[in-house]
Amino acid sequence: MTSAHEWLTGSVRRLIDATIRTEVDAEAIAAATEKIDSATAQLSDSLLPGSFGVQTGPDGRPTAWGNVVIGLRNPVAPPLTIHHGADGAVHTDFVLGAAYEGPPGHVHGGVCALILDHVLGATAHQPGKPAYTGTLTLRYLRGTPLGQSLRASAHVERIEGAKTFAVGHITGSDGVTVEAEGVFIHPKGGQRDG
């Protein structure tokens, strides 16, 4: 990915945050909106016909830059960087801002579910051997704070045929906030992933 794309996506992430938190008057908002519409028109001169999907990157490997959790070209994605350890264990460190709010000052419980679905699934996912979610169960222990360092981690509990049983959690400074367990399935045809 060119640095131009990365800079654009980071720029839109900052705009999302300012859109939520701005207190300027209607005139200033209208002026900002005009600039944004102009940028959108410029980017829309040539668009993919649909969503980003999975495309071959410059290094020849498949890339999911549009993915809502890890996509480097998706401003909605934090984006998470998943680190793979031994035996399918994974972790990722991140901070979530105003765009991910549910209860005041806290990450929406459903965003925790989104992140845990992805991170638990990453234990089963392998290049060329995608896995999709069969079931996912979440237990909420305490609120997950916005604006603070968080870690999501997961590991494989066991594998039975095409099924990977994974467990994981999100941890904040006060300990585990949400626990999860899930079953991730490698379909025969490999049609789906993520």
User: Smallest distance from the beta carbon of 119 to a second copy, in angstroms?
Assistant: 9
DSSP 3-state of 85: coil
For residue 167, give the 3-state DSSP assignment: strand
Residues 158-187 as x/- pattern, contact with a second copy by CB under 8 A: ------------------------------
What x/- string results for residues 60 through 99 when contact with a second copy is judged by CB under 8 A? -----xxxxx-x-xxxx--------------------xxx
Instruction: Report the C-alpha gap between 15 and 71 in whole angstroms.
Output: 17
Comparison of 8 and 89: residue with beta carbon closer to a second copy: 8
Tell me: does residue 194 bind a second copy (CB under 8 A).
yes
Asked if residue 35 binds a second copy (CB under 8 A), the reply is yes
40 binds a second copy (CB under 8 A): yes
> Which member of 81, 137, 148, 149 binds a second copy (CB under 8 A)?
137
102 versus 172: smaller Cβ distance to a second copy: 102
**Residue 68 near residue 2, CB atoms below 8 Å:** no
Tokens of 146: 């916005």
Q: Determine the interface stretch with a second copy among 12-20, 82-90, 150-158, 167-175 (rule: CB under 8 A).
A: 12-20
Site for a second copy, residues 101 to 120, rule: CB under 8 A: 101-106, 108-111, 113-118
Number of chain positions touching a second copy (CB under 8 A)? 90
Cα–chain-centroid distance for residue 138? Answer: 17
Going by their DSSP bridges, the two strands 175-185 and 132-140 should be labelled as: antiparallel
Q: Cα–Cα distance between 45 and 40 in angstroms, integer?
A: 9
Q: Burial, 108: exposed, middle or buried (Cβ in 10 Å; 0-12, 13-18, 19+)?
A: middle
